[in-house]
Amino acid sequence: MNKTIRRASVFTLLLVLALLLRATWVQFYDGTALADDKDNRRNVIRTYAEPLGNIVVAGESITGSARTKGGDLAYKRTYKDGKLYAAVTGYASQAYAPTQLEGIYQDLLNGTDTRLKTVMDTVTGKRADPGDVVTTIDPDVQKAAYSALGGNKGAAVAIDPKTGKILAVVSTPSYDPSTLTDANTAGTAWKRLNADPDKPLTNRALRQPLPPGSTFKLVVAAAALEDGLYKDVDEHTASPDPYTLPGTTRPLSNENPSAPCKNAPIRVALQYSCNNVFGKMAVDLGQDKVRAMAEKFGFDDDQLDVPVRAYASVYPSDMDKAQTGLSGIGQFDVTATPLQMAMVSAAIANGGKLVSPHMVSQITDGGGDVLKDYDDSADSKEIVSSSTAEQLQSAMRTVVEDGTGTNAKIPGVTVGGKTGTAQHGENNSKTPYAWFTSFGRSDSSGKEVAVAVMVEQSDAARSEVSGNGLAAPVAKAMMRAALRS
């Protein structure tokens, strides 16, 4: 073989090796990236080639799958009582990325989760039978919250304090996820929902922190008792009325000018929602101590998964003393979700211990075998001492029995609560937010529930907007449903 032929042969061999290396790279590296690309139509076709697994409430599926007519997508997602459960399920759409539980457990529900595969599935490459998501939601509590909120814009959350199970997650106005499932019609529904000024796609229960108003006074009271600033809820505080915010000429006024708020004990200050007491208490404690207590309850946690990622509730930093005073009444830049304020009441009701809130009980494979049990893995942490919790429980009962929260009374149930009416807009120019957070304990069965309700907007006259008037009746309906034997 002469030199020219030999060189040509070597060069040709190198080209062949290069082609083999490139083909291998494309198949095993680029191929994976292409297969996982969200714009790869084959992924959507594969996802909807078979019925999806289901999301389950109280033993019944609230989702399903239906045959499509024509096209390359064989099935589409369906929902039972879609508007009622939209804040729990989210949507699984042929056109848009899935949300909420549908998104978090997408692989489980479409059968691609590796935990679902049998040995035979692995050998044959067959997609495994899809699994199911079993929620902690109590349908009676969910329906009670949705019905009681009615046409109001708002949200509600209920938690079992002893187990951390989330019994209800409601956001209104809601939407029907079924309108987004079919690729042929989803675009029109998507535009309409996003153009709606009431933002029905927003999960107000988990993902819209707003000023919590006077419900935040529970956190400040907990900080004062734990710090030893006051030994119990019946010790008189050093709280002038009116109280002028430090460095300003602005008095911190009370909603009820005739309320006995001067030097009021924590019990009375919660009963009448005395701003002067908690504004000064926050200043006396200092923002660092208030923040430390807020963070123990869950504020400033941007990793709160239930398992849907909740937006962080915020206690601000770098405040002056006047701003710290305003933070003590749940104003300035303090924000909270209904989930967060339900967590506050849950910890107080549970003797000071907060069990991790979660709205999924189990995930199962196609045969019903449990892949993971979230109830068993829920942890708890001490937020305040049992003594402080008992003190706050007692004061919250006074709020409901003789204070600003009387609309939450339920015969045969021990109820403790706290109202809140948070200012909205510059100089409170817009309709305030109405809040109520509470716990209820059945006198007969001992069952417990903690709730939080926020009404962002309603048809009520501005003068009638209050935590007791708008939010407490919703909380009452939820507690009654949760504690019904």
Distance between CA 457 and CA 302 in Å, rounded? Answer: 26
448-457/380-382 β-pairing: unpaired
Has 214 been annotated as catalytic? yes
Contacts 24+ apart (CB under 8 A), 23-26: none
Please state, as a whole number, how many other Cβ atoms lie within 10 Å of the Cβ of residue 247. Answer: 11
Count of alpha carbons within 13 Å of 33, Cβ hemisphere only? Answer: 4
Catalytic residue among 65, 214, 345, 442: 214
Q: How far apart are CA 177 and CA 191, in angstroms?
A: 14
User: What's the one-letter identity of residue 117?
Assistant: K
Which residue is associated with the tokens 């996820």? 177
Question: Is residue 235 classed as helix, strand or coil in its secondary structure?
Answer: coil
> How far apart (Å, rounded) are the C-alpha atoms in residues 420 and 141?
22
99's tokens: 């949300």
Q: CA 330, CA 304: separation in Å to the nearest integer?
A: 21
Two tokens, residue 152: 């109001």
**Number of separate helices (H) and strands (E) present in the chain:** 19, 16
Q: Which residue(s) pair with 210 in the sheet?
A: 336
How do strand 380-382 and strand 370-373 relate by DSSP bridges?
A: unpaired
β-pair partners for 132: 364
Just list the catalytic residues: 214
